[in-house]
Structure 1
Amino acid sequence: MQHFWLALVTLLIALLFWKWRRPPNFPPGPWALPIIGNFLQVNLHNPVPDFNKLAKTYGNIYSIFLGGTPVVILHGFQTVKEVFGNSGLLFADRPPVPVLQSCTKMKGCTLDPNLLVYQAVSNIISSILFGDRFDYDNALFAELIGHIKEINRVLAGVWAELYNTVPFTRKLPLPFRSLLRSAEGLRSYAAKVIEEHRRTRTPGDTRDFIDGYLEKMEKNSENGSFFNEDNLVAIILDLFVAGTDTTAITLRWALLLMMAYPKVQARCYEEIKSVFQTKGKLQYEDRSSMPYTQAVIHEVQRFGNIAPVAVPHSPLKDTHLFGYTIPKGTRILPDMTSVLYDELEWKHPNEFYPPHFLNKDGAFVKPEAFLPFSIGPRSCIGEGLTRMELFIFFTELLRHFEFFWPDKTTSPDLTPVFAETQSPRHFIVGITHRSD
């Protein structure tokens, strides 16, 4: 009997390792344990250093197991460009992400700029979506922004990946519950606003995005139409979360870096002041007259590396990539840190260096490896709005205020906090109103 149980246990272990094998001709990668995959080898609190080590061992396209899910990692600019740029349509699908699917179903003064920046940015997307903006002391507004922060904090961590890849854990009272609660809070708010729009809207008089979508729903009311309320809620959540978090975090990086590099701030201000004095106002179209300021904004995006691991893609059909066979639906993760910090593409990848975006004549140029919004058919839909927001916020802030590091005993800490959107550590800003 003892031999029977020993044989049974051996067989079960063998079956587990057989299940966690890589598909034929799949990209190589580290050995994975049954059930947990490579969770012990990749620190999901910040996987980027481990991604770099694995790329040195296995090459610029390799695979890991997150739980029982094989994931292909793309490393370096040329690899990401080839897959999402040159072959973009083939990889334009999105793999299922269970945790997200569950979410959509449910004078010389100092100040803390964190909430204020979030509110200013969020009010722009709120005006577009809801046709209204929030007062800055609105308790509901603070609650919604808290939900956004919590979603992005948890989404890139180990608990969200556990939810995605180990299904039996989804009913357990684990930390990913806070993400689901925040998503439900946003979903509930969106549903109330949609219902209010239904009661108050006038056909033909479109006040905002929701009115426009409801009009489309009426015109496309047949069964199976994409224009339905579930999709409207999902789109609102996508736009509200992404339209707030990424831009707000980029502006926080901008403030911190301007305090860390006061000479850069001063040069931007002189350029901004020169254009303003000539025209009497600043508009987005004036960016062509501000090459250095443009370079600084773009270097903030590159150095801040807001989305260190971009949103997953997946192939629409079985395909071949760099000699490997990639089955349909495989999760493809682009390591965007390896693109924005690629030593083959950037002169000083680990430094804040605005000349990355200037040619020898001082004119603004955008290197091909500048991909903060990803590349290809599934690149960020909000890129245009984000560029406009960053330029207007940055130039107006520097035109009116000078920012300084208030604690003379320390220097600004530029160490990022890894998350779905990578932010600087919490800081206080010193601010002086400009008199000239």
Structure 2
Amino acid sequence: MELSGSILLLGLLLVVLWLLYNKKTGRLPPGPLGFPLLGNLPQLDKHVPFKSMLQLSERYGPVMTLHLGWQRTVVLVGHETVKEALVDNANDFTGRMQLPFLVKATQGYGLGLSNGETWRQLRRFTLTTLRDFGMGRTGMEAWIQEESTHLVARFQMQKVAPFDPSFLLSCSVSNVICCLVFGQRYDYEDADFLQLLAIVSEMLQFVASPLGQMYNIFPWLTERLPGRHHKVFAQIEVVRSFIKEKVRQHQDSLVPSLPRDYIDCFLNRVQQEKHCDSTDFFYENLVATVMNLFIAGTETSSSTIRYALSVLIKYPGIQEKMQQEIDAVIGRERCVCMQDRKSMPFTDAVIHEVQRFLDIVPFSLPHYTLRDITFRGYTIPKDTIIVPLLHSVLKDETQWAHPQSFDPQHFLDHNGNFKKNAAFIPFSSGKRSCVGESLARMELFIFFVSLLQHFSFSCPGGPDNVDLTPEYSSFANMPRRHLLIATPR
């Protein structure tokens, strides 16, 4: 009797605390009533939570409040709402949530999770440095073209036998960011390199899983339980050790007047500001930012290209039409260049539609209110998580004719010319959009077109065997792996 009374008392106390917590939040946007401790988690599908949010917004509107555990969260739904927040009111929404998984992975340092002046300094420096080394320019184009020849050669080695292209694509895409950050590329047989790519792949699969989301909501509890996350964090330490060794090698061979890559430039800045007490350029920020660039620059683009190949196997008519355009504009011998894109509207439209349809980061990286803000008549308190639901923008029925179908016509006008759409924001938008957007666009075009120049793609069992629904669909939409056959043209 005493035990049941204690449990009842504890339950009542939690309810009172929950009500007091909600009472203090002012004029928040509307949202469903949640449970103590769990908040609205029971109302979300753990496999596709962003779809549950979309359904809830039909009742509560495009700006709504949810509680993920104890975490107060405002969800922004639809193109107009997300644009108004991230672009029109950009200064209010520049904060970045300290995702527990990423905080532990980076020890809380680096560009990805930084805020305020630290974020401004690191972002400005990173964009400038990567552009100086050719990101979005002809210098970087040459690196990607060279890497595409290695990728084509590896596909040719498969000799028309079914194979999983995942690691070959990861090697190629990762080598581009490795050239920028480490100043070198790696052989596709390099054991250490392959181990790093395997770790990055497993890490993102974990983050995209329900368990990964549970870690971000209840880190204090999950840390004390056995599970896959302990293995993942142990593997992340392998990546950190690799980066630390690269930094050490750069320190030993640095010539300040001749920087070779991003690490050299950062080390130069560290030296320039070593007597400044408030500097953001120090060792921990270097290691964490390099980790941000390496991980983000590897998996998302390679997964998108892998998904694109699956799409073309699923829709062979689209593949044939793309190859006709490639043959007419480039032929099968000349190396593709970015200048070709303006003459290839259908190919460009297919690549854009792949990104829209895959919707690889449906939540974006969550934002965070660094102070009390007012938005659409609501008061959103400091320390509130902001989720710009990119899924709702890329599948917005007011912006796309057939949002739930794969349709390259979304990016073509009635004359067959390429047309832009403001709701195309796979890299997010505003001041915290992806720093590697121009690099990713270049990689997707050159790698994808190079492969279609040389091969036609199919799979065992034919198009009906291809499932375009994601294998993991939570924080990220991770496409399924399929065996494919690359037949030389």
Q: TM-score range by the shorter chain?
A: over 0.9
For residue 5 of structure 1, report the CA deviation from its aligned partner.
5.7
For 1:408 and 1:254, the matched residues in 2 are separated by 16
For 1:340 and 1:228, the matched residues in 2 are separated by 38
Does the CA contact (< 8 Å) of 2:315 and 2:463 recur in 1? Answer: no
Residue 189 of structure 2 is matched in structure 1 by 137
1:374-385 superposed matches below 5 A = 374-385=428-439
Superimposed CA distance per residue, residues 285-319 of structure 1 (whole angstroms, 9 cap, x where no aligned partner) = 21111111110110111111111110111233211
Residue 159 of structure 1 is matched in structure 2 by 211
Decide which moves more: 323-332 or 387-396: 323-332
Residue of 39, 53, 56 corresponding to 2:55: 53
**AA aligned opposite 1:154:** F
**AA aligned opposite 1:153:** Q
Decide which moves more: 114-123 or 20-29: 20-29
Q: Does 1:276 align with 2:330?
A: yes
Residue 12 of structure 1 is matched in structure 2 by 13
1:36-435 superposed matches below 5 A = 36-105=38-107, 108-169=160-221, 170-221=223-274, 222-277=276-331, 280-408=334-462, 410-417=464-471, 418-434=473-489
What TM-score results when the alignment is normalised by the length of structure 1?
A: 0.94
SS in 1 for 2:19: helix
**AA aligned opposite 1:49:** K
Q: Cα distance 1:125–1:5, how it changes in 2: closer, same or farther (>3 A)?
A: closer
SS in 1 for 2:82: helix
Q: Cα distance 1:160–1:282, how it changes in 2: closer, same or farther (>3 A)?
A: closer
Decide which moves more: 107-116 or 323-332: 107-116
SS in 2 for 1:416: coil
**AA aligned opposite 1:45:** H
Q: Cα distance 1:197–1:305, how it changes in 2: closer, same or farther (>3 A)?
A: same
Q: Cα distance 1:409–1:123, how it changes in 2: closer, same or farther (>3 A)?
A: closer
SS in 1 for 2:387: strand
For residue 364 of structure 1, report the CA deviation from its aligned partner.
0.6
Does the CA contact (< 8 Å) of 2:160 and 2:485 recur in 1? Answer: yes
SS in 2 for 1:65: strand
Q: State the aligned residue count.
A: 434
For 2:178 and 2:245, the matched residues in 1 are separated by 14
For 1:262 and 1:5, the matched residues in 2 are separated by 65
Q: Does 1:21 align with 2:75?
A: no
For 1:385 and 1:318, the matched residues in 2 are separated by 35
Does the CA contact (< 8 Å) of 1:272 and 1:399 recur in 2? Answer: yes
Does the CA contact (< 8 Å) of 2:330 and 2:340 recur in 1? Answer: no
For 1:192 and 1:397, the matched residues in 2 are separated by 34
Does the CA contact (< 8 Å) of 1:269 and 1:398 recur in 2? Answer: yes
Does the CA contact (< 8 Å) of 2:313 and 2:463 recur in 1? Answer: no
Which runs of 5 or more residues in structure 2 are unaligned? 109-158
SS in 2 for 1:377: helix
Does the CA contact (< 8 Å) of 1:405 and 1:429 recur in 2? Answer: yes
SS in 2 for 1:320: strand
For 2:435 and 2:7, the matched residues in 1 are separated by 56
For residue 371 of structure 1, report the CA deviation from its aligned partner.
0.7
SS in 2 for 1:40: helix
For 1:397 and 1:277, the matched residues in 2 are separated by 13
Superimposed CA distance per residue, residues 227-247 of structure 1 (whole angstroms, 9 cap, x where no aligned partner) = 111001111111111101110
SS in 1 for 2:431: coil
Q: Cα distance 1:431–1:157, how it changes in 2: closer, same or farther (>3 A)?
A: closer
**AA aligned opposite 2:41:** F
Q: Cα distance 1:279–1:119, how it changes in 2: closer, same or farther (>3 A)?
A: closer
For residue 278 of structure 1, report the CA deviation from its aligned partner.
11
For residue 276 of structure 1, report the CA deviation from its aligned partner.
1.4
For 1:140 and 1:308, the matched residues in 2 are separated by 32
For 1:278 and 1:428, the matched residues in 2 are separated by 25
CA RMSD between the two structures: 2.2
For residue 4 of structure 1, report the CA deviation from its aligned partner.
8.5
Decide which moves more: 1-10 or 48-57: 1-10
For residue 116 of structure 1, report the CA deviation from its aligned partner.
1.0
For 1:319 and 1:409, the matched residues in 2 are separated by 50
SS in 2 for 1:360: coil
Superimposed CA distance per residue, residues 153-202 of structure 1 (whole angstroms, 9 cap, x where no aligned partner) = 22244434443333532343343323322322211111111011111222
For 1:274 and 1:194, the matched residues in 2 are separated by 46
For 2:231 and 2:388, the matched residues in 1 are separated by 26
For 1:219 and 1:5, the matched residues in 2 are separated by 61
For 1:223 and 1:217, the matched residues in 2 are separated by 12
Which runs of 5 or more residues in structure 1 are unaligned? none
For residue 19 of structure 1, report the CA deviation from its aligned partner.
4.9
SS in 1 for 2:487: strand
**AA aligned opposite 2:435:** I
Superimposed CA distance per residue, residues 413-435 of structure 1 (whole angstroms, 9 cap, x where no aligned partner) = 1111214332221201111101x
Q: Cα distance 1:429–1:8, how it changes in 2: closer, same or farther (>3 A)?
A: closer
**AA aligned opposite 2:179:** S
Superimposed CA distance per residue, residues 264-289 of structure 1 (whole angstroms, 9 cap, x where no aligned partner) = 11111111111214994421121111
SS in 1 for 2:298: helix
